Each structure stands twice: as C-alpha cells, then as structure tokens.
Amino acid sequence: MKSSLTITPIENRYLTKEMKKIFSEESKLQTWLHVEAILAQVHAEFGHFSKKIAEEITEKATLEFVQLSRVKKIDEEIHHDVMAMVKALSEVCEPKAAKFVHLGATSYDIVDTAWACMCAKALDVIEQRLVELVRILIRLSEDYKDTICVGRTHGQHALPYSYGMRFALWMEEVIRHIRRLYGCRNQSLVGKMSGAIGTMASFSSDGIQLQERFLACLGLNPSQLTNQIVQRDNHADVMFLLVSIASTMAKISKQIRILQRSEIGEIMEPIASMQVGSSTMPMKRNPYKSERISGLYRLLRSNLTCILDNNALMEDERDLANSSVERIIFPQTFVLLDYILSQLIYILPNLEFNLENIERNLKLTDSLMAERIMLVLVEKGLGRQQAHELLRKAARESLKTNRSFSEVLVSSDIISRALSRYELDELLDPQGYLGQATKLVDCSLSDARTFLKELISR
C-alpha cells in the first residue's frame, strides 16, 4: 500500500473537518466553478447569450464533471491554474456553451471572488467558535464570581480579585471580536467582476450592473473600484482580525500556564487518563495544550508581515507576487485560528481548580490589604501621602524582619492611635475588599446574555 506523505502538520494535526470542507483543493476548485456558473447565469440575464447555455455551464460546473486531476494535468502543461479550470470546464460543456465559459472575466475576477466566498464561510466557523467560547465563559464567570483569589500586577501580589471577574474580562474581549467580525465581513469581504485592469471594458456598458448582480447572487458586496485585483488592504483587514483574535487566545492560554506553575497551582488544564507529561519525569503534568496555542499564535502573527507586503508591493495594475503567499497564509491563518479556538473550547470548561491553593496564595502576602488600611487612615484624618509612606515602610519591615504585618502596624504609635487591633484584623480580611467586583461581573453577564439573544435573532 502506498503511504501518503504530508509535508506540513497542518493537514494531519491542526485541520478541523469544518475548515477542510472549505479550504481543501476540491472545495477551492468547486468554489471557482461556482463563481464561473454564477457569471454565466448573469450573462444570460443580461441577454449576452441564451439561458440554455447558462444552464449547461451551471450543470457542468461541478466536481462531478470537472475532475481535480484533469485540472492539475492541464495546469502542468499550461502553467496557469485558473485557465486550467476554464479549459477543463469547457471540455465537458456542449460546444455551443463551451465558447462562452469565462466570458469577459480575468483570472482574479474568479480568484478574488472565490477567496471572499471561502473566507465568508470560514468566518462563519470562527464566529461559531467564538460564540461557544462566550457561552463557556458566561458559565465560568457565574460559577466562580465569588471565588476570591489574589490579583497580580507585574507578576506580584496586588489586591484581592475574583476568578469570576477574570473570566468575565476574557468574555467581554471575545464579544468585542465577534462585533469586529461583523464589521469586517460587511466591509472587507468583497468580490469583483471588472475585467483585466478593472475598467470593465470586456463587459461594455453593462459592466457596473453586471458586477452588482453577479456579486448579489454570491451574497457579497462589490469592491467599488479595482485594478486587476481587489486591493489587498481588504484582505489585510481580515487577517488582522484573525490574528487579533489569536492574540486574545494566546493571552488566555498564557494565564492558564502561569496559574498552573507548581509554585502557584491554582488551576490546571485538563489531562487525559493516559496522558504522559514527560518521557523521563513520570510526575510531570505539563500544560502542553496551552503552550501549543502560544506557539501557533507566533506563527499567525508572522503572517501579518506577508499580508502587509502584499498590499505594498503592487507594480502598476498588479504583479503576481501576492498569489503564492496568499495560497499559504489565507487558509493557514483560518485553519490554525480555528484549531486554537477548538483547543480553548476544550480546555476552559474542563479546567481543574485547586481551591486550597487559591486560598493559600491569597494569604501569602501578609501586607496584601495595605491599600485598604491606607484609605481608612485617611478617613481618620491622616494625609494620603503620610498614610502611604507609613504602610510602605511597614510592609518592608514586615518582610525584612519576618514579623507579621499586623504586628508591625500595631507597633506604630500613629497607626495604633488611629485603629484598634480589632479594626486592623477586620481590615486585613481580603473578603471585605472586593469593591464592586461581584456587581461588575453581574452587569457583564447580563450584557453578554443580551448580546447572545440579539445574535440569535439576526
């Protein structure tokens, strides 16, 4: 049996069935053929040839009649993949219809419009993943809104926080991406049918109306003005959105990795029963799924350089330098982002929480409530700067002398005159210094649920 050789792990490791259905060679060819069929139908509507001819082209513009192997064979001979498709389609059409295949079009009328069609389908998949993430984060925010943990800034303990607020923060960011996705879909997913250099000369006086009708049939907006191709700032918009989404997922995955560190140990990504962490250290439980997300994000971010160069390096009405790059980065960016989202959809609802470690870490910094005490001292009549300096010195002394923070505070004449020991003990309890965190999470959850209802009703 002949073994298959896969050069890139994208196909056998990261490609979901949804993205394969959109970006496989067969799907790409079928999209090109569909665009050709719509062009023929619109030509017939405008009376450029008969409806019967359009029906013949439409019937034959499928993989049942146009074989991928035949298109590849022709391409090997003529070194032009779009023309190879046109020839293969013409071969299977009746002679009267064959002569009208691809009438008036240039290659990138087909390619750019097909890209927009494929990207629209792929964005639908991305949107579905993002909506599922929102639902997961709604549940996590609700379930853990009262789970108090230590909040960190600069990698250092800062103030009491809640896991519910952390999850809600991520949830709102995902919702913003969904809103951006809608704007991008409407503005940047555009097609064209404007001929060799965009003048529509090959369509005579029907050009503008024909393009509008053609793209309406495909559910796309027209690019108002083109040269031989749709201008690549449109594609850059789409790629920027995808990479921006990936950056959010990388942020989430990095936070999971940090919180899974042995010294912190608050949450862990899920682990399969037979999963091996290390080939030599049996006790290891590595957050490899989150690490994989971080790694794939680096690759996606590098694609932005290519897409920007494609926009900047156009010679006159176009060159071909963009084509080879886009064959790789368009499907690659969608496929890898889809995989990243799928991984997080698995990780997040299956996170394991160590509540003991969460509480331990919350109590680890003895002076965690210094800000709260400082504000109360101001209420008691001290100046804000004076109170800040007192608490700063007390925290340093506690750390240096290994005395408890409360003991150091009590030994201060100024503080002991302002606050009783009972008051200090109350103020040092992190449970009482969450501010509006719970209410903020509730408001965020309410907005998120409203957003999802609006999304369903569209």
Residues with active-site annotation: 154, 278
Rounded Cα–Cα distance for residues 108 and 81 (Å): 11
Would you give the end-to-end CA distance of the chain in angstroms?
Answer: 51
**Would you state the structure tokens that stand for residue 178, as one six-digit string?**
């969904």
Do 134 and 51 form a contact (C-beta atoms < 8 A)?
Answer: no
Instruction: Tell me which residue of 436, 339, 451 sits closest to 145, measured CA to CA.
Output: 436
DSSP state of 24: S
What are the counts of helices (DSSP H) followed by strands (DSSP E) for the chain?
20, 6
Query: For residue 348, what is the DSSP state?
Result: G
Distance, in Å, from the CA atom of 123 to the CA atom of 112, rounded to the nearest integer, reads 16
Query: Which residue from 10, 54, 3 is spatially nearest to 303, judged by alpha carbons?
Result: 10
E-state strands within 302-389? 352-353
Q: Please name the amino acid found at residue 132.
A: E
Separation between Cα atoms, residue 332 and residue 329, nearest integer Å: 5
Task: Tell me how far apart the alpha carbons of residues 160 and 218 are, in angstroms, rounded to a whole number.
Answer: 53
Sole residue written with tokens 């060799």: 196
